[in-house]
Amino acid sequence: MQNPSRGLFEAVANTGPEQLAPGAWLLHGFALEAGTALSMAVEHIKARAPFRHLETPGGFRMSVAMTNCGSVGWVSDRRGYRYQSCDPLSGSPWPPMPPLFAKLAAAAAQACGFPGFAPDACLVNRYAPGARLTLHQDKDERDFDSPIVSVSLGLPAIFLFGGETRSERPRRLPLQHGDVVVWGAAARLRYHGVSPVKEGCHDMLGAQRLNLTFRRAR
């Protein structure tokens, strides 16, 4: 497997991070060179912990399919949103986080001024055309000092980056394969979401978008 670090840092050097707000950055193409290795790692993860459509506490089925890797994983059902160490479908621990994932997340955080980021959870979301993610905050974690690192793969999407309240109109940010968004510090609890993904076919991943979201949950 190729070492992705060189390509990652070259991408940042060539384009520079785009500041979205105090504490929030868009890294254009940061994960582009590692895209193939990342998608292969997702295949291994889903073989052990298949994608599933979770149910919200209110009884709605999420349009986004998801799974997890790391020491803990995020789940949702009628009992609420939470992190737990075992996959509720199998009762087994979540697949371990691939070293490449942790390395990428740490490098992206470092590039945005968040040194020493060591995620213990990676949410792997799969968007089919039409799937979306409504505006929400990431607030189920115990550690709000660490940033969120979000990696886009596959089909393009419109990332909605809002404010500190749901009523604030979000900024619409086009994301391409390999883009990474990092937000923390003053931006850590900003509302965010994803508009419905449009029909299309990505050269590597086909008719889907994958999103890797790294967090420090415990």
Per-residue 3-state assignment (H helix, E strand, C coil) for 93-135: ECCCCCHHHHHHHHHHHHHCCCCCCCCCEEEEEEECCCCCEEE
Q: What is the largest CA-CA distance in the chain?
A: 46
Give the pLDDT of residue 5: 45
- Closest to 124 measured CA to CA, from 68, 77, 85, 81: 68
Q: Is residue 113 part of a domain?
A: yes
Q: What is the mean pLDDT of residues 174-181?
A: 98
Give the pLDDT of residue 4: 41
- Cα separation, 123 vs 189, in Å, equals 17
What pLDDT, in 10s, does the model give residues 75-106? 999 999 999 999 999 999 999 999 999 999 99
Q: Is residue 14 part of a domain?
A: no
> Any idea what the Cα angle at residue 51 is, between residues 45 and 52, rounded to 5°?
150
CATH number, domain at 90? 2.60.120.590
Q: CB of 112 within 8 A of CB of 147?
A: yes
Q: Is residue 62 part of a domain?
A: yes
Task: Give 16's pLDDT tier (boundaries 50, 70, 90).
Answer: confident
Give the pLDDT of residue 217: 96
Q: Is residue 67 part of a domain?
A: yes
Order of strands across the sheet with 157-161?
Answer: 133-136, 192-194, 157-161, 171-175
- Cα separation, 156 vs 183, in Å, equals 20
Give the pLDDT of residue 136: 96
Number of domains in the chain: 1
Q: CB of 124 within 8 A of CB of 138?
A: no
Share of the chain above pLDDT 70, in %: 93
Q: Is residue 2 part of a domain?
A: no
Residue 153: CB partners within 8 Å, gap ≥ 6? 31, 35, 38, 39, 177, 178, 205, 209, 210, 211, 212
Token readout for 9 is 């840092």
Query: Which of residues 14 and 196 earns the better pLDDT score?
Result: 196
Q: Is residue 4 part of a domain?
A: no
Q: CB of 17 within 8 A of CB of 26?
A: yes
Q: Does residue 1 surpass a pLDDT of 90?
A: no
Q: What is the mean pLDDT of residues 175-193?
A: 98
Token readout for 96 is 């371990």
Give the pLDDT of residue 6: 47
Please give the residue range of the domain that contains residue 117: 19-215
- Closest to 182 measured CA to CA, from 24, 55, 76: 24
- Cα separation, 125 vs 24, in Å, equals 21
Token readout for 37 is 């290795």
